[in-house]
Each structure stands twice: as structure tokens, then as C-alpha cells.
Structure 1
Amino acid sequence: MSAQITVHLAGSERAVPQQSTAGDLFAGDRAVLVARVNGRLRDLAHVLADGDIVEPVTAQEPEGLEVLRHSTAHVLAQAVQELDPQAKLGIGPPIRDGFYYDFDVEVPFNPEDLKALDKVMQRIINEGQTFVRREVSDAEALDELAGEPYKCELIGIKGGAADDVEGAAGEVGGAQLTIYDNVRKDGTRAWGDLCRGPHVPSTKVIGNAYKLMRSAAAYWRGSEKNPQLQRIYGTAWGSKEELRAYLDRLAEAERRDHRRLGIELDLYSFPDELGAGLPIFHPKGGVLKRVMEDYARERHLQEGFSYVGTPHVSREGLFHTSGHLPYYEDTMFPAMDEDGQRYFLKAMNCPMHNLIYRSRQRSYRELPLRLFEFGHVYRYEKSGVIHGLTRVRGLEMDDSHSYVAREQAPQEIKHLLDFVLGLLRDFGLTDFYLELSTRDDKKPEKFIGSDDQWAEATAILEQVASESGLELVPDPGGAAFYGPKISVQARDAIGRTWQMSTIQYDFNQPARFELEYSAADGSRQQPVMIHSAKFGSIERFIGVLIEHYAGALPPWLSPVQVLALPVAEEFEPYLREVLEQMAGAGIRVELDSSDDRFPKKIRNASKAKVPFVVIAGAQDRDTGAVSFRYRDGTQENGVPVAAAIEKIRAAIDAKAQV
């Protein structure tokens, strides 16, 4: 009898023969993709040791789904090189809801190429090729992959700059390099790729619950200085039903796409003449933007903030003082030269708010001192990440900074968090969780401040976030260089998560700007600075709201709150009188006086997504009434004008979500 070892599975001990694998423990259970052994993901072929703690991992868990998607990316790359042996491999990591793989090919991929690749992938999957892990030295890997220049480059920067390349950790993470071979049932090697793993045991596990989505250009290692590769995006799920549900969600997201809806509703556009990431707002979009700004401005004043204004440009020295330039210069527009001095378009407002604070002596009696502005900032986002209003180069931030005594910081953060959540709820977002972004202790060069300062700031933010009662999710390494932050993550109407408001604790800028206040005992003390943006940016928040409401904004936000449709031209004078009364009550109105026939006017009103459509015919005119048609298609007839105005006004004032 072979020697036995003891492993721990599902809280109980199990005796198994030596050389048993993780897969032996789950034989027959096809749902298990990989195992978690002593807390680390391992292939099912991993040989167990005495005392190992083993857990099954399925596609119903995020880690299992990532492994499934990474394995599917390998099959895609194998298919690409089968059809085009000259294709060079880039990186192929799992990402949210799917995966991608980058290739250096002579001709960009087209939809027909994706169809051909899908056929090859399905054949590879049906063959049931086995993923086999093989350890190699750096020299062996470089020799074996001599024809793959991008893989060799990753090996050359292993453990250093590779950490900053998206997906690179999945290939060269850790000290030991490994290659995963795809092995046919007859034992021959079909293909292989540099990869840390783990992978599913067999391509057959992938089944047919995957889909190639699209192709796009992407720069190697995300730098425009590097070659442009061709990226194929795909998705993979644990079942065909989950794939179908995901594709349905994508279709719904497409229906809600703010870029398309913004054009259809005549809110904003993105002219090529201006350049990427620089939207313009049309009159109706301008109304929406102004309503949001006016409301946010009034709420800030109610919460004790003072409205300020700062310029769009500054000498570079200001951003050296704040500490931003060494960290953010790559994301700022290139400097302008004026008489030998460099000026930058500002990418943030906080340095200028510090100058306002420092403009005169401050007393503890003034604290908390809260400054707020709608500041226009400019960020040189890479063209590949610009996306409608949600990722732009010119943006307007509802930026605020609270200057507080150190002991006031916890209460001020709570005040800001309550303010943020209340404001978001006013706009119809009600499903939240919080994310706590902290310093990456492995990269101290990316952060400034002492360990004690970071520990204190992080503890305060964590305490306030925990006391809110909302779910708190850690985000290690996601802090700004000057301090940790809480971000509010909001789920929209179809369950997608958007990062909205942020609250950041800053102990660095007050020191760098030598900010002080006179304490009660007469001593000079340094304040703490707390950054907060409620919307993040007006542009992005508008994009999120358009998608959340599928363009059907609630009455208080709708650029046009009432659209009037005369049944015939003879009723236009009556409706003009009605609209004049409504406008006098502060309601935004519009009359459709076009030559279109009445049925088409109804269709146009539905497409315009106006909350209230009022209709007037002979009976309405004769009785001093209107008929209501709502966005859901229902109708209410014979409503007296005064009652109609009261009904509309009540919905606006209540911020009703109709």
C-alpha cells in the first residue's frame, strides 16, 4: 500500500495517497475548474503535500471565472497562430466580464476573421486539449520564445516595470517562469504560451459559453511610443445561460448608451474639429447642466461651503509645490511657454484653493473652512480610453476642499459622506457601496508622507466608512499620492457599477503650502485638508444619469418638462396660452408647431422622452382643460389647466422619478 498523506477539505481531514493531485479530490465534479491550496489558486494537476488545505473553485466564483476566461484567451491565441503562423503574441489577460489578447499581425482583424477564429477555437475546445504547466528558467524561456519579441521583452522586465503593464503579472509574475502547453490526447504538444496560470484542466471545460466580441487597435504596454497591436476582445461564462444573460445586458446597455442618446435628444455632441474628449453642450444639454450645477451649488451653500473661482492656467511652480507635477505631468497637457516661464492647464483645483486659504492668517474659529467651485480642469487622457462624457479631456469638477483641525477630521469626513450620499439619492442613485483606497506599501516611491500619517488617515476613513453601514471594499494601492480616499460606488438601473464621489484625506499639501491656523492656546497649527468631489465631474455624471434613466430623465432634470401637441393647427393659440401659464409657474415648456400629422407628433414626443405631453382638442379648449399623455403610454383626459400645473409642479418639486 502506498504511503498516505493528510489533507484538509471542507473542514475535515482526508487521507490520500502520496502524489495525489487536487483534481483527484474532485474527480467526477466537472464544475471544479481549479483548487485553492493553502489560500493560493492551483491547477487541478497540482500535487498535494501533507497538511494542505484544499478548496474547490468553480466558475460561480470570481477567481474561477477569471481562470476560465484566461484559458479561453489561450485558445484564442492558439487559433490565431494556427490561421496566421506569423502572428506575434502580446498579452492576453482576463478582464471584467471577459478577456482580450493582443497580436502583432500584418492586417487588422475584421468581423469575418473573428468568425473564422471562432470555428478554429471550437475545434480546439472539442478536442479536449490538456493545459500542462512547465517550469522554465529565464534563459530557457528566452531561447524557446526567441520568435516572440513581446514575450521576450516581458521576461527582460520581469518583476520590475512589468508590474505596471496590464496583464503582465499573469505572464511573468513571481520569481519562477512557467509555460503552459496545450497537449492533445495523443500526447503531442499543440501549442504553448508563457503564463503564470493556473488554467482549467482541459479545453473541453470551456464548452460553447464564450463569444468573440470585437477587435480594436492597442499600443503595446499602453504607450503611444510603442508598436500598435491588434486586440481581440471576448467573453466567457460558466454556462450558456450566463452567456445569454450577459449578451442581453450588453444589448440593454447599448440601448442606454449616452453617446447615442445624447445625439438623439439633442443634448451634446463631440465635434472632430475640437478634438477627442472635448464635448459641447447644445441648448437642451445646457439646461440639464445648469439645473445640476444650480442644485449642487445651492446644496453646497446649505452645507457650509463658500463658493470660489480660480483660473484655468498656472505657472508650473504651483504644481511643484503641491507635489502633483512629478506624479501627474504625463496626464497634463504639454506646458506653454511665456517669456521663458512654463504654464500648465490645471488638471486639479486643490493647489489654487490652498492659495486662497493662505491668502491671510486663519483662526481655529474659522474651521472647518470649506471652499467649493465648479472648476474647469484638463487632463491629457490617451485617445484609446476617451469614451463619450464618461472619459473626457476637458471636464468641470464640483470640487471642494475642507480645511479642518486634526481632531475635526473624522466628523468632517462623516459630514461629507452624508452630504455625498444625500446628493446622489436626490438624483435617483440609491444602491451604493464604498471603496477604501490605500497606499501600496510595495511601491513607497509613488506616495509621500510618513507611515504614521498614512496609518492615521486610513484608520479614520475606514472607521467613518464602516459606521455608515454600507459595504466596504478594500482597494489596496488605489490611493492618491498624497493620501487615502473613500469612493462611493453606485449601481445603476441595470446593475452596472460607477465610481461617483470621492473623499480624500490629505496631510501632505497643507505642509507643502505651509498652511497654518492660530489654535485656541495661541500656537500655530497645521490643518488637515479633505478633498471631495460629489459628482466627480459634471460631464461624467450626466453620462451616467442618461444611461441610468435610458434618457427618460425625471421631470426636475428634463430640459423640456412639458411638450404641447395641438390635435390640429386651430388649437395652437389655446395651447400657447396654457404654456404661458405653465412657464409662469417655472415649468420648462415647448410647443410642437411643426407641419407633421398628429400621429407623428405623438411618435416624436415619445422619442424625445419628455415627462409630460399635454394635448388639446376642441373639448379641452372649450372646458379650459388639457389631456395628459405619459411616457408609459397611458393618458389622462380633461384635466383642468390649474390642476395640470399643480400636478406637474408637484412632480418637479418632489423630484419624482416619473
Structure 2
Amino acid sequence: MSTHNEVEMKNHRKLSQQLELFMSMEEAPGMPFFLPMGMVLRNELEGFWKRKHQQSGYQEIKTPIMMKQELWEQSGHWDHYHENMYFSNVDNQNYALKPMNCPGAVLIYKSKRRSYRELPIRLGELGLVHRHELSGSLNGLLRVRSFTQDDAHLFVRKDQIEIEIDKVLDLIHEFYSEFGFSYKVELSTRPEDFMGSVQMWDQAENALESVLKKKSISYQVNEGDGAFYGPKIDFHILDSLGRSWQCGTVQLDFQMPEKFDCHYIGEDNKPHRPIIIHRAIYGSIERFMAILIEHYGGEFPFWLSPIQAKILPISDAHLDFAYKIKSELEVLGYRIEVDDRVEKVGLKIRETELQKVPFMIIIGDKEMEKGSLSVRKRKEGNLGDMTIEELLYLFKYELVKR
């Protein structure tokens, strides 16, 4: 298990200050301000999410962050969750900031007539939600009041439940493998405060358990910890310090389709009720970022690094060549900076190491004469002289070895 020193060295708030990723401000407690470097990291995570979901047959949606109170009463969130919600009054109507994305996805599903041939319909959303957390519990990006959930809502027929959950579990495994996480799985069953019939709950729990068994995934049963509308499979990832974090979740819901009177027209030309699979993989972008910062200790893999390489010219005479190399690399999509300060190169190297940049490119008289680049790699030190073609081969290898 990790020592107190290791945990403190990898504290995401401390590292975020050092790497200029995000700020917490008194003007908006629990609502983080993302700085340019933090936005690069965030955009890479969101871009990866979008690509993977597009490849897996999901359609992306975006729903309003504020909707009328009646909607939350209809969904059941008002009865079960209103003490954690924020409210507003507009035109003598009560509104609530959404604490969850589900009702918006349901309204999109209901916006047109659906046929059995269309199902499964997989709607993915990076949706901004707000939940009231006590001020004493707020903690950097780990516990916030405003965050983006990477939600998806799959509208399926009963005969599609198990195959769709199977695919979701494969997608979650792909995501966590990408970041080098192992994980544990929990099946959470009917809580005391539940909606719907016991029979429906039994059916839903059996479906989730059946998929886990067929895939030979070992799991623990967490009695009574399901969502109020359905049982769920929770994923606890294990970081480099041996700590466990609950991130992904897959929830089976027979209740909300009834509450919103959702249906599709079946092969028999009659209306049938779909089932909703709710699922998230990151859990929230913000919390996942905090976990990643601590997991990697700020030393992000090449594809995630806000700055992938920093060019260090030894003097002003080398600036033009440095910016020429920067331009050539940026055109190919790499994130490059030039340290053009009038400082000794030793200081520039030390400061770049503190920024945990994967590569440094040092340019002086010798490099300009030969048209070469002196390359250093994080933790490995000097790699020697390279042509730009050799450097590009190295960068491509860093991306491929993901």
C-alpha cells in the first residue's frame, strides 16, 4: 500500500497548481475553473470518449442544464433527490438545474414515433450537472458541485438487454485498459427506498447477474445499494497507489420508461415498453481527471500530455530554427512549446522537468549547423541527435504503444 509521502506527492490539487491545470475559487465553491493546460487534458479525454462511442454505435446528444420542476417530479428525482438539487424561478415557473441527464435523454427518445427495428437506440451525452454538496466535503476535482457526466442511455427491447450489457462491459474494459487500470466489479441490489415492483427488480437483477456470469467476471454483491429506479453494476478502478475509486456504472431501469410512458411499435404493430440501460464510464470527467493526475503523478502518457514536447533554444540566435521546428510539428497535430526566455539552458531543462513534459528538444549552434535536434526524454535523459524524421517516428511510436 502507498505511504503518506507518496499520496502527498501525487495529490491532484498540488500537482494541478504546479502544472497549471485548474483552480478552485471562492467565487464559485465546488465549481472548478479549468486553465488552458487543464482544458487540453480534458479535451483529450472527451475526444477519446467521442471516438470510442461513435465506433460503438452511439449517437451523441446535448440536453438543457435547466428544466421545469414538473419534469423532475415525473422522473422521481424530486421525491428521491430534491435536497441535492439547485432551483430557480423563471416567469413564475419553478425550474431545477439537472442533477442527472436521464430525463433529457428520455424526452429525446419520446420526441418521435419509434419502431422495434430502430432499437437499440444508444444516446450518449457529456452532460453538465449540478448537485449540492456540503462545503466541508468539497475536494479539488474529486468532490465538486458542478461536473460533466459521461452518460449514455440505451433504449432496448427485452430480448436485447443481455447482449447490450455485454457490449457495455466490453467498452468499459477497453476504456480502463487504455489508462492502465485494473478494476473490481460490484452488483448493487434493491435499496429500501425503491420504485416499482419487487418482481421487476428481481428480473432486472437476474439479467445483470446473468451477463456477469456468462462473461466469467468475478464480482461482489452489494446488498441494498442499487439506484432507486434499478439495480446496477459498479466498477472500482485501482490506481498506481493501490487505492480504489468507484467510476463506471451500468444500471438497468424498468421504471422511467413507465413514468414517461415510453414505447415503440413492435413487429405486431402494437405499442411496447422499452427498457433503459443507464451507464457511465469515467463517472465524471472532473473526478476521472483527478484520479488520472494522481495515478500518473502528473506524468501523463504522451497522447494525454498538455505539452508533448518543449523546444529549448540555447540563445536568441536559435529562435528562428526553434519556431520552424515547432511549426512543422504542430501542423502534424503535436502540442509543442518554445521556451524563448533569455535564461540558461540548464534552468530551462530543470523547469521543463518540473512541468513533466515527455520530450525536450535542445537547439544550439551544433544542431543548426547539422540540421539536427538534440532530444531528451522524461526519466530517460539524453537520447542523442535526431533528424526531424527520426523524432516523428519516435512520436508515432509513443502514440502506437498505447
Q: Give your verdict on TM over 0.5.
A: yes
Whichever residue aligns with residue 312 of structure 1, its letter is I
Query: By how many angstroms is 1:382 displaced?
Result: 1.2
Describe the superposition over 1:506-526 as per-residue Cα deviations: whole angstroms up to 9, x where unpaired. Answer: 000000000001111222110
Q: Find out whether 1:256 has 2:13 as its counterpart.
A: no
Structure with max Cα Rg: 1
Q: Does 1:437 align with 2:192?
A: no
Can you list the C-alpha shifts for 1:566-612, whole angstroms capped at 9, x where unaligned? 23332222121111111111111001111222111111011000111
Correspondent of 1:461 among 203, 208, 211? 208
> Residue in 2 aligned with 1:515?
262
Match of 1:392 in 2: 144
Partner residue, 1:402: 154
SS of the counterpart of 1:364?
coil
Deviation at 1:417, TM superposition (A): 0.9
CA contact (8 A) 1:432 1:470 kept: no
Distance in 1 between the 2:47 and 2:24 partners? 24
- Indicate conservation of the 8 Å contact 2:315/2:342, yes or no: no
Identity between Structure 1 and Structure 2 (%):
37
The separation in 2 between residues aligned to 1:591 and 1:528, in whole angstroms, is: 54
Q: Is the aligned partner of 1:561 residue 2:308?
A: yes
Question: Residue 364 of structure 1: CA displacement?
Answer: 0.5
What is the CA-CA distance between 1:280 and the residue it aligns to? Answer: 0.8
1:361, CA displacement in angstroms?
Answer: 1.0
Question: Within 5 A, what are the aligned runs for 1:360-439?
Answer: 360-429=112-181, 431-439=182-190
Q: What's the counterpart of residue 196 of structure 2?
A: 449
- State the 1:318 CA deviation: 0.4
Question: What is aligned with 1:272?
Answer: 26
Cα distance in 2 for partners of 1:508, 1:579 equals: 55
Counterparts of 1:474 and 1:595, CA distance in 2: 61
Q: Tell me if 1:543 matches 2:294.
A: no
- Cα deviation, residue 287, structure 1: 1.1
1:593 to 336, 340, 344: 340
Alignment RMSD: 1.3
Q: Which residue of 2 aligns with 1:287?
A: 40
SS at match of 1:365: coil
Cα distance in structure 2, aligned partners of 1:492 and 1:465: 23
Equivalent position SS for 1:295: helix
For residues 181-200 of structure 1, the C-alpha deviation after alignment (integer angstroms, 9 at most, x for no partner) is: xxxxxxxxxxxxxxxxxxxx
Equivalent residue of 1:615, what SS? strand
Q: Is the 8 A contact 2:58 2:124 kept in 1?
A: yes
Query: For residues 505 and 259 of structure 1, do their structure 2 counterparts lie closer, same or farther at Cα, with a shift above 3 Å needed?
Result: same
Q: Which residues of 2 match residues 293-308 of structure 1 at below 5 A?
A: 293-308=46-61
> Taking structure 1 as reference, are residues 607 and 258 closer, same or farther at Cα in structure 2, changes over 3 Å only?
same
Q: Deviations over 1:27-84 (max 9, x none)?
A: xxxxxxxxxxxxxxxxxxxxxxxxxxxxxxxxxxxxxxxxxxxxxxxxxxxxxxxxxx
Q: Give the total of aligned pairs.
A: 402
Deviation at 1:629, TM superposition (A): 1.1
SS in structure 1 at match of 2:340: coil
Deviations 1:115-138 (A, max 9, x none): xxxxxxxxxxxxxxxxxxxxxxxx
Residues in 2 aligned to 1:414 and 1:491: alpha-carbon distance in whole angstroms: 22
One-letter code of the match for 1:412? E
Q: 1:301, CA displacement in angstroms?
A: 1.1
Q: Give unmatched runs, 5+ long, in structure 1.
A: 1-245
1:485 corresponds to: 232
Q: In the alignment, which residue of structure 1 is the partner of 2:376?
A: 629
Residue aligned with 2:186, SS:
strand
Q: Deviations over 1:459-481 (max 9, x none)?
A: 11112223333330121121100
**Does 2:86 match 1:339?**
no
What secondary structure sits across from 2:307 in the alignment?
A: coil
- Quote the Cα distance in structure 1 between the aligned partners of 2:12 and 2:99: 25
Mapped partners of 1:282, 1:653: distance in 2: 28
Gaps of 5+ in 2: none
What is the CA–CA distance in structure 1 between the aligned matches of 2:343 and 2:254, rounded to whole Å? 63
Alpha-carbon contact 2:247-2:281 (below 8 Å) kept: yes
Does the CA-based 8 Å contact 2:9-2:297 persist in structure 1? Answer: yes
TM-fit CA distance, 1:410? 0.7
In structure 2, do the counterparts of structure 1 residues 272 and 611 end up closer, same or farther at CA, with 3 Å as the change threshold?
same
2:5, 2:118 → 1: CA distance?
Answer: 53
Q: Which amino acid aligns with 2:48?
A: Y
User: 2 CA distance for matches of 1:560 and 1:586?
Assistant: 12
| TM superposition shift of 1:368 | 0.2
Say which SS state the counterpart of residue 384 (structure 2) adopts: strand
Instruction: Work out whether residues 465 and 486 of structure 1, in 8 Å CA contact, stay in contact via their aligned partners in 2.
Output: no
What's 1:350 paired with? 102
Mapping for residues 89-100 of structure 1, pairs under 5 Å: none
Deviation at 1:650, TM superposition (A): 2.7
Contact 2:126 2:148 in 1 (8 A): yes
Q: CA deviation at 1:653?
A: 4.2
